Amino acid sequence: MTLTNLQTILHALYTGDSTTPDSSDAEYTVRTTYLNAAINIWESEFGMLWTELFTTLQASATGDKTITASTTAYDAPDDFKFLGGYVETYSDADQKTKWQVVPAEKATVKDGDGIVGLSDGYVWVTGNMADGYTINFSSQPTVGDTIDYPFYKVATTLSDGSDALEMSDGYFAIYFALSKLHEQDGEGDRATFAMSMAETKMTAMKTLNAMAPPWQLNGAENSTLFRTGQGFGL
């Protein structure tokens, strides 16, 4: 759903007509604020990592994607929140070097060869939401190699009519905003009903997010096998 779609449905549920406010109207701005508040609540729902917010560096419009000479620190995408797995560098997609991720504080505890107890190459993240995040390599990767990694992103807020909602069920945002509009009007019963609908939508999204596809493994993975190809019985 785009912001235009959300505004149209929200207005119809709220007033019972199809004359949606223009984007320059104060009503439109207030409703956009409520919809964005719903996005924030969805994004920060306790204990949830939404599949819609996992992406990769190569799929992102920003972030350093190529290794350059004498450089071990690379900018993460603007919407970066945290890494979702190994950092990879490669010139051939079939032959990738995997860099293990360690906490920033561990990266400073070294012996003569690097981190104590960790012989492989590694990376750590520094920075913050205000200044941006940096991916730091423990040694110089091969110049010219491609960089890629999965990461969890910040949810996109809506401002332009064509901006699209990332959550799987946009009616959570619609009912949340509708509840706030009724609350603003002093319509307590209507506000409570709309919020209960929003909560139902949130519960359904959480259930769907936790479901594995049919016939897929749903146990603990062997990280050694994934990283090296070697594991128990191999």
Give the model confidence (pLDDT) of 98-110 as tens digits.
Answer: 999 999 988 876 6
pTM: 0.87
Residue 234 in this model has a pLDDT that exceeds 60? no
In a domain, 191, yes or no: yes
- Work out the burial of residue 76: count CB atoms within 10 Å of its CB; fewer than 13 is exposed, 13-18 middle, 19 or more buried: buried
In a domain, 224, yes or no: no
SS3 labels along 194-212: HHHHHHHHHHHHHHHHHCC
In a domain, 223, yes or no: no
What is the DSSP code string of 39-67? HHHHHT-TT---GGGEEEGGGSSSS--B-
Give residue 91's pLDDT band: very low, low, confident or very high (50, 70, 90): very high
Q: Which domain holds residue 100?
A: 51-154
Give residue 218's pLDDT band: very low, low, confident or very high (50, 70, 90): low
197 and 143 within one domain: no
Q: Please count the structural domains in the chain.
A: 2
134 and 77 within one domain: yes
124 and 39 within one domain: no
